[in-house]
Each structure stands twice: as C-alpha cells, then as structure tokens.
Amino acid sequence: MLLSHLPLSSYRAIQTAITRPALQNTSLRSFQTNALKLDSIKPLLLDKSDGFGFARHNPLPSKPRKVGVTEMRGPYYSAMGPRYLADVLDTAGHYVDGLKFAGGSFSLIPELKLREMIDLAHQHDVYVSTGGWAEHLLTHTDAPVVIEKYLRKCKSLGFDVIEISSGFLSIPPDDWLRLVDKVHSHGLKAKPELGIQFGAGGDTATEDLASIDTSDPSKLVNLGKRFLNAGVERLMIESEGITENVKSWRTDVVSTIMKELPPEKVMFEAADPEVFNWYVREFGVDVNVFVDHSQVFQLACLRHGIWGKTDTFGKIVSFRE
C-alpha cells in the first residue's frame, strides 16, 4: 500500500519510528539540523526535465543556507498543530530554514504534539527556535534557577535555537552576554534580538511606542559586535521602531546595520509583504528575513524573481556562476 493511502495516524507513526533515532543526537547544532530530511524532492520550478525549470528564475543557495535565510513564524497569531505544519513544510519546506514559536506559544502546546512539530521541522532540515519567552523568565525572583530549568527542557524537547530579547526589559550588556554563554553551555544556539525601540515585541500600539524615545543605532551595532565576538551565529533585528508601528520607516537604521555588521549574520523581522519586498529590493535575494508562515511562498516568488510588486516584478536578479 502506498504511504499516501495510509490513515494519517499510521503515516505519522511510521514517520516517528523512522526519525526518532536520528533525533536523539543532542550534539551542538548550528542553525541547521542533521536529522532525516524530507526536503529532497525538487519544486517544479527547479525541475528542468519535467517541470517549470525552463522559466527564468534566480538560483538560491541550497540548505543549510548562510544567506537568503527564511525563518518563519509558527503558532501565535493563528493556531498551528502537526497536521497544519506538515502541510506547510510538505509544500514550502524547500524555502524554509527556521521555525520560530513566537513568544511563549510553545509552552501552551501539549508536549507530545510539540515534539511532533519539532521532529517534523528537523525532517525538513529546518531549525527550531523559541520566541523571546526568556524575557518573561528573567522577571522571576529566582531567575538563574528558572533559566537553567528552561534551557534544560528546551534542549530535551529538541529546540536548536533560543531567542533572547529585551524589548520590555533593561538589562546590562554584560548580563546579556552571560545569558548567551549560558545558552551555549547547554549545546543550544543563542539568537539575541536587538532593536532601537523600548517596549517592542508585544504588539504595542504605535501611539504608545511614540511616547518612548528610540535608542541610537550605534548602541545596537556595538552590542551586536559583542554578541558576534561571543560566538553568536545570527542576530535578529526587531522591526518595531524601524518598519513596524512607526509613522515613517527608519531606513537609515537598516543601512547602518548592513554597513557595520556582517549581512550574513543579521536577520530582519519583516512579517509584512511591503517590508520584505523592500528588503529584497534594496539588498537583494541574499538578505535574511523573518516572515509569517502564510508569507513563505510570496517571499520565495520574490527571491526567485518570478513574481513581485510594481517595484520588483521582473526586477529582482542575481549573477551566479
């Protein structure tokens, strides 16, 4: 019997039985995974013999990618479980590099279902990241103990990356760096989230954010350099204060970041088609961005140069030999 004709429960059981041994390797992962991959079937656009490979398109790096990375948001604004995620990754997994459980959304999911979702991501060579929930845990009176328990549990669940944000907190840079070292000591990758807007990260109204001054971009850049020197592989740039919840975009901040920090080490929050369209138009197909899972195909069309908006349709190109 073909696998496609099996009941969903049986298919999932077979997937779990096949992949479980590979997923028990808890050695240090990069922003990638070494699990059994289901991402080997080419999209039609890349099939020159029987697909649409005859159409002009920009070639994209193969996984694991260092540039042109797409991290997608999982459950948060909409519910997502294993079946929903499987559909997304079965169709768009070729273009997804990372899966992020925004905020503390992963803490609301039953453990067996969460493990199934993390396993699914790894099968598609997709790393799995927490959201910035550590920011909530830092408010506990016994924060060191709580953070230790958090990291141990995340490691046991199969997470690869721990996001560390401070949009709502004021924390000394040296303490932030100690937290990065703590994450790394557990065989996980730290992903600091940097921004210029205090109070960012929780859908705060534009009017409320406007009453709080933004910080100088040099602070972000200097802290970013310290993180990279501490072994951080990639920095997440918070969109609020730059392209989100602002009256006019701070493109000057983006230019400063791209000038002062290695572009391949930076990822921009861009979960708005107008925003990621601008990033690709301004910086090319290799810019790393974070988008919603509903936007993965739109972004992939833009990177490949096969579709776009008025200012990008037919205008996104690359030169690769």
- CATH top class, domain 39-304: alpha beta
Task: Work out the percent of the chain whose per-residue pLDDT is above 70.
Answer: 83
pLDDT digit string, tens, across residues 39-56: 557 899 999 999 999 999
pLDDT digit string, tens, across residues 105-153: 999 999 999 999 999 999 999 999 999 999 999 999 999 999 999 999 9
Q: 203 pLDDT exceeds 80?
A: no
Cα(240)–Cα(242) distance, integer angstroms: 5
Cβ contact 121:99 at 8 Å? yes
Cβ contact 157:118 at 8 Å? yes
Q: Where are the domains of the chain?
A: 39-304
Q: Which residue has the higher pLDDT, 256 or 24?
A: 256
Residue with tokens 């996980």: 188
Cis peptide before 75 (omega within 30 of 0): no
Task: Tell if the pTM clears 0.75, that is, is over it.
Answer: yes
pLDDT digit string, tens, across residues 72-117: 999 999 999 999 999 999 999 999 999 999 999 999 999 999 999 9
Torsion over CA: 281, 283, 285, 291 (sign)? negative
pLDDT at position 205 is: 60
Question: How far apart, in Å, are the Cα atoms of 242 and each of 167, 194, 234, 250, 296?
Answer: 13, 11, 19, 5, 22
Torsion over CA: 78, 79, 81, 84 (sign)? negative
Helix axes 82-92, 111-123, angle to 10 degrees: 10
pLDDT band at 254 (very low <50, low <70, confident <90, very high): very high
